[in-house]
Amino acid sequence: MQFLLCNGSPRGKTGNSERIIDGLAEGLNAHENILIEKVLLNRTNEHSEAAARLAGADCAIIVFPLYTDAMPGMVMAFFEELTPHIGSLSNLSLGFIVQSGFPEKIQSLAVEKYLERLTELLGARYSGTAIFGGGMGMRKKRMEIIRELGASFVPGLAFDPVLLERTTGFVRLSPVGSKVMGVVASTALLQTPWIRSLKANGAYGRRDARPYEPQPPHL
């Protein structure tokens, strides 16, 4: 059985998406007769070839991060590259893993609905979407869940719904949790990396700019 694991992170092999794919591969390899290929979607000049490989696979799992609630543009570009294969993907099982720094699952539910609809439009079988929120770190417990997702994917070619419930602990923060998160987000622990990046790009002096805020009419 042929699997195609697609890394949709702009960071390529240096990001957490690659670690997720490695964990998935470990789980999948618990079964016999599994052939795994990997694709880096940040190589945009190879999208056409990657789309053809996806069309020829038994199953594909696409892993990507969210940036401010949105998928990377190169992932959308790859999806558009699949258009010529519509009508020939009925034997393909297509699954997704979405990861982000947002602690709440609700931040990723809109893209989850899109991915399910996308699979329907492509004519493939939907294998589910695993949502990993709550920070970018790949903790030991998280890696164990990822390996379990891979191991339980075969033979049904779908993510185990029980495991999907374990990927992110809650849909929304509680009112108390929201207040705590607001306090934590304002501390130097979280702000220092952003401040460093702003200064490196000459944007620190404009950090409070609101270019789209409505302005009062000129008299």
Q: pLDDT tens-digit profile of 38-94? A: 999 999 999 999 999 999 999 999 999 998 778 999 999 999 999 999 999 999 999
| Domain match, 200 and 142 both | no
The one-letter amino acid code at 79 reads F
Please indicate, yes or no, whether residues 115 and 149 belong to a single structural domain of this protein. yes
Please state at what angle helix 16-28 crosses helix 140-153, rounded to 10 degrees: 50
| 151: confidence class by pLDDT, cuts 50, 70, 90 | very high
Residue 180 and residue 162 in one domain:
no
Q: Number of folded domains in the chain?
A: 2
Residues 163 and 149 sit within 8 Å (Cβ to Cβ)? yes
Mean pLDDT, rounded, of the chain: 88
pLDDT classification of 180: cutoffs 50, 70, 90: low
125: CATH: 3.40.50.360
pLDDT given at position 185: 65
Give a yes or no: residue 209 inside a domain: no
* 185 shares its domain with 116: no
> 189 falls in which pLDDT band (50, 70, 90)?
low
Identify whether residues 111 and 195 lie together within a single domain. Answer: no
- Answer yes or no: do 11 and 106 share one domain: yes
Q: What pLDDT is recorded for position 136?
A: 53
At residue 207, the pLDDT reads 84
